[in-house]
Amino acid sequence: MHIQFENGIFHLYNQNISYVIGILKNNHLGHYYFGKRLFGELREDMFRMDQKRGLSNYIEKDDMTFSLSHELLEFPCFGTTDYREPAIDLKLPSGSRIVDFKYITHRTYTGKKKIDLPATWGKEALNLEIDLYDDVAETLITLTYSLFEGINVIAKNVLIKNLGQGSITINRVMSSSIDLRDCHWDMVQFSGDWARERHEFVSKLRPGIQSIYSRRGASSAQHNPTAILKRTNTTEFAGEAIGLAFVYSGNFIIQSEVDSNQAVRLQCGIHPENFSWQLEHQMSFQAPEAILSYTSEGLNDLSKQFHNVFRDHLIQKKWQSYKKPVLLNNWEATYFDFTEDKLLDLASEACELGVELFVLDDGWFGVRNGDKTGLGDWFVNTDKLPNGLKFISNSIKSKGMQFGLWIEPEMVNENTQLISLHPDWVIGDPKRSKSHGRNQYVLDFTQTQVVDGIYNQLIKVLDDCPVDYIKWDMNRNITEAFSVHLTADQQGELHHRYILGVYDLYERLTQRYPHILFESCASGGARFDPAMLYFAPQAWTSDNTDAIERLKIQYSTSMFYPITSMGSHVSEVPNHQVGRMTSLRTRTQVAYFGTFGYELDITKLSDDDKLDIKKDITTFKQHRNLIHTGDFIRLQSPYFSNEVSWMVVDEKKSEALVGWYQVMAKPNQQPLILRLSGLGSNKKYKINDDQVYSGSYLMTHGLLLRQAFNGIEFSGDPAGDFQSRLFHLVEV
Ligand code: DGJ
């Protein structure tokens, strides 16, 4: 990886990608290129032309060739000659919103600097900082770009510093803004709602703006803060694509703007709606990080770049090689209705079967027998657990298992001690009624005393009771966004300050309990975003635990997120979210491709099922390292096919595990073909301890699969809808 500066052109590159920025004649930055690696000399005339154009405004007198409207820009400003959406919108003390940020200097260095937000890290990262200054605004903007060895990504962040005497207001700051020369891209987004998070939607770019966003105070189940631009013919295995991930958990926007020159402006940042930030003299504002990647080798390759950067440079080092424990969570087994005995029965049975971590979900604290009360009172419910939490934890740990606990620290219910002591700790406008979500209200995490209050309650519990894992839930979004503790001018800061409060609590808890594995959760996957991975290396993917629904959810979640971050559990049938019946085998073989665990009342299972679960857990443990450290490759998409498949392969291409699923049974089909990927062409692999095949055969012809039952003959595999098969390949 290299950062070159020659002839006013910055060239950031590694073996596969180039990112080129030029200093334009008005000293703004031009975004010259982002794509496949460029070799040889780079000159300005290769990327831009001086040309007279009609109906344009020009920067210089007597020069009718230079208008920002026709330039590809790196950090566009509003107010001179470009009318597209800017990267920055400031209100100056005069009331003016004209900004004109010009290049003044730059520097490069090795080792990524820590910023005041969750972001990538790496001592070997190569960095470029470019300073831009507007001498009327008396404001300095520093753009930082980072490259990581062997990964085709650029991480970017923006810092704004007010060097003037007055206070300025930031109305908009995009963490990344690049202009691409042509608009022949399709935008892929990951959208949905509760229990159907991150479904894939593809749409052609058209003139104007297409955006995905959240204004809910969390990154949301509705749109994930990630998106892809791909060519129409790009597949999982070939073709160009650009991926963009926003490392932030609050309100965001990702948008593509196609202009009249058929160029695309691709941006991401904190959503400017309802956002403003007062920046006093000498104060700085740190905008969150954005990560960009480019591939010419299809979506699997794009995903690999994000998996690698998230696994190696976002998730904390100590979790990278940590063996994620097989867990049993009591939520779908008992909901709120549990006793000490019931929990210990579940744990004993779990231990017998090989489960390594028992997680006590919602309902252990306050007066929490349903979702109407309890949140905010973080002390043990001794009616339910008469011997306290420590007793439960010790009993579980004495079996050799780990103990995990659920919390939802950002919320409060009515009828709690917390709300009666601190009625002003809730977000809302005292002049208006407050909407509720799941009977709960959002605590005002913009305020340090509120975060302190929750922190102090939680450490009392966690200092006393040994805990190895925490599931941090968040079950509603912000409404009536008003804080009685913020001034009128600061109300636009509420959403961002709230997220800073969440990060602050995460930071304090993860510092104090470095051994605790955190799993983030928000009614399932409503805050599954890159920034959360910085604190919590795994996330509950969805409350939807149905194996067939999970094919889509896990498939498209893997576009950006490594499967080692995806919470995936085997649950009961009929499934609690969709009522579907699926076999234990299918549920298990879908859940294997994630962090793997169980969420059902195992004490009620038949002896046969228990025996199967015991074997399944042993199998998972045998393959756990491969699943969590290998490259994940998507083979057949549930969005386009009745047969779905994916695989993981180790770095040496000597071992692989393949999951194959058939949604609906079909009569009298011809043989199904399972074509693999990522293997060594010249290598030979034994599959499931049986036949040997060459890598080239498996990747070009593909494995022939008999259908389970064709109306006349059974293959030996279970027949009917919702089937799955697992193939373990070992090099021979
Ligand atoms: C929502 C989560 O997604 C569930 O897994 C469970 O923890 C419940 N909340 C508990 O209230």
The pLDDT tens digits of the residues spanning 270-300 come to 999 999 999 999 999 999 999 999 999 999 9
For ligand 1, atom 10, which residue shows the shortest CA distance?
Answer: 362
Which three-class secondary structure state does DSSP give residue 520? Answer: strand
For ligand 1, atom 9, which residue shows the shortest CA distance?
Answer: 523
Phi/psi zone of residue 491: left (φ > 0), alpha (ψ -120 to 50 degrees), beta?
A: alpha
Helix (H) or strand (E) holding 294: strand 284-295
Residue 392 near residue 344 (C-beta atoms within 8 A): yes
Q: Which of 408, 475, 520, 598 to mutate to test the pocket of ligand 1 (most atoms within 8 A of CB)?
A: 475
Q: Which residues face 178 on adjacent strands? A: 266
Q: Which of 368, 407, 540, 541 to mutate to test the pocket of ligand 1 (most atoms within 8 A of CB)?
A: 540
d(CA 453, CA 444): 11
Average pLDDT on 197-201 reads: 98
Closest CA to 206 of 258, 162, 251: 258
Average pLDDT on 80-107 reads: 97
In degrees, rounded to 5, the angle at the alpha carbon of residue 111 between the alpha carbons of residues 512 and 153 is 100
Q: What is the pLDDT of residue 29?
A: 98
Other CB atoms closer than 10 Å to residue 382's CB: what's the count?
A: 10
Task: Give strand ranges (E) for 554-617.
Answer: 566-567, 569-571, 597-599
Tell which atom from ligand 1 comes closest to the C-alpha of 361: 7
Q: What is the pLDDT of residue 207?
A: 98
Taking each helix axis from N to C end, the angle separating 388-398 and 340-353, rounded to the nearest 10 degrees, works out to 20
Residue 209: pLDDT band by 50, 70, 90 thresholds? very high
CA of 122 to the centre of ligand 1 (A): 34
CA of 361 to the centre of ligand 1 (A): 7
Q: What is the pLDDT of residues 492-538, one digit of tens each?
A: 999 999 999 999 999 999 999 999 999 999 999 999 999 999 999 99
Average pLDDT on 241-262 reads: 98
Residue 31 near residue 47 (C-beta atoms within 8 A): no
Average pLDDT on 218-243 reads: 98
Q: What is the pLDDT of residues 168-185, one digit of tens each?
A: 999 999 999 999 999 999
Which alpha helices (H) appear in 295-403, and where do they start and end?
Answer: 299-313, 317-320, 331-334, 340-353, 388-398
Residue 156 near residue 312 (C-beta atoms within 8 A): no
Residue 691: pLDDT above 90? yes
CA of 516 to the centre of ligand 1 (A): 19
Closest CA to 474 of 521, 427, 534: 521
Phi, psi angle pair for 627, to nearest 5°? -65, -40
Q: What is the pLDDT of residue 17?
A: 98
Those residues with Cβ within 8 angstroms of residue 392's Cβ, 6 or more apart along the chain or in another chain: 340, 343, 344, 360, 385, 403
Give the single-character DSSP code of 297: B
Residue 65 near residue 82 (C-beta atoms within 8 A): no
Q: What is the pLDDT of residue 711?
A: 85
Phi, psi angle pair for 303, to nearest 5°? -60, -40
| Residue 612, amino acid | D
Q: Which of 193, 371, 473, 474 to mutate to test the pocket of ligand 1 (most atoms within 8 A of CB)?
A: 473
CA of 567 to the centre of ligand 1 (A): 13
Q: Which of 328, 528, 538, 543 to mutate to test the pocket of ligand 1 (most atoms within 8 A of CB)?
A: 543
d(CA 385, CA 291): 46
In angstroms, what CA-CA distances link 596 with 355, 425, 568? 10, 37, 5
Closest CA to 500 of 307, 710, 272, 285: 285
Those residues with Cβ within 8 angstroms of residue 651's Cβ, 6 or more apart along the chain or in another chain: 629, 630, 631
Q: What is the pLDDT of residues 112-132, one digit of tens each?
A: 999 999 999 999 999 999 999
Residue 13 near residue 19 (C-beta atoms within 8 A): yes
Q: What is the pLDDT of residue 330?
A: 98
Give the single-character DSSP code of 383: T
Average pLDDT on 70-82 reads: 95
Tell which atom from ligand 1 comes closest to the C-alpha of 371: 11
What is the dihedral angle through the alpha carbons of 235, 237, 242, 246, rounded to the nearest 10 degrees?
100
Average pLDDT over all residues of the chain: 97
d(CA 196, CA 261): 37
CA of 228 to the centre of ligand 1 (A): 30
Q: What is the pLDDT of residue 712?
A: 87
Residue 671: pLDDT above 90? no
Question: Which residues does a 6 A CB cutoff place in the pocket of ligand 1?
Answer: 331, 361-362, 406, 473, 475, 521, 523-524, 540, 543
Radius of gyration from C-alpha coordinates of the chain: 27
Q: What is the pLDDT of residue 669?
A: 87
The label of the residue with tokens 């994620």 reads 324
Task: Evaluate the CA torsion angle 326, 328, 331, 336 in order and state its sign.
Answer: negative
Phi, psi angle pair for 537, to nearest 5°? -70, -5
Tell which atom from ligand 1 comes closest to the C-alpha of 522: 3
CA of 278 to the centre of ligand 1 (A): 37
d(CA 627, CA 377): 39
d(CA 157, CA 172): 14
Tell which atom from ligand 1 comes closest to the C-alpha of 406: 7
Residue 231 near residue 239 (C-beta atoms within 8 A): yes
Tell which atom from ligand 1 comes closest to the C-alpha of 521: 3
In angstroms, what CA-CA distances link 671 with 647, 702, 715? 20, 11, 11
Give the single-character DSSP code of 133: E
Closest CA to 588 of 578, 599, 596: 596
Residue 265 near residue 85 (C-beta atoms within 8 A): yes
Residue 249: pLDDT above 90? yes
CA of 353 to the centre of ligand 1 (A): 24
Tell which atom from ligand 1 comes closest to the C-alpha of 540: 3
CA of 496 to the centre of ligand 1 (A): 25
Residue 264: pLDDT above 90? yes
Q: What is the pLDDT of residue 710?
A: 83
Residue 360: pLDDT band by 50, 70, 90 thresholds? very high
Closest CA to 147 of 120, 127, 117, 119: 127
| Residue 638, amino acid | P
Residue 110: pLDDT above 90? yes
CA of 524 to the centre of ligand 1 (A): 7
Q: What is the pLDDT of residue 80?
A: 87
CA of 339 to the centre of ligand 1 (A): 18
d(CA 604, CA 602): 5
Q: Which of 359, 375, 406 to mutate to test the pocket of ligand 1 (most atoms within 8 A of CB)?
A: 406
| Residue 299, amino acid | L
pLDDT above 90 covers a percentage of the chain that reads 96
Q: What is the pLDDT of residues 290-337, one digit of tens each?
A: 999 999 999 999 999 999 999 999 999 999 999 999 999 999 999 999
Give the single-character DSSP code of 206: -
Q: What is the pLDDT of residue 684?
A: 98
Q: Which residues face 100 on adjacent strands? A: none
Residue 234: pLDDT band by 50, 70, 90 thresholds? very high
CA of 221 to the centre of ligand 1 (A): 14
Closest CA to 253 of 284, 286, 275: 275
Residue 545: pLDDT above 90? yes
d(CA 546, CA 573): 9
Residue 716: pLDDT above 90? no
| Residue 628, amino acid | H
Helix (H) or strand (E) holding 552: helix 547-557
For ligand 1, atom 11, which residue shows the shortest CA distance?
Answer: 362
Tell which atom from ligand 1 comes closest to the C-alpha of 438: 11
Catalytic positions, please?
473, 543
Q: What is the pLDDT of residue 252?
A: 98
Average pLDDT on 419-434 reads: 97
Q: Is 487 exposed, middle or buried (0-12, 13-18, 19+ CB in 10 A)?
A: exposed
Residue 550 near residue 577 (C-beta atoms within 8 A): no
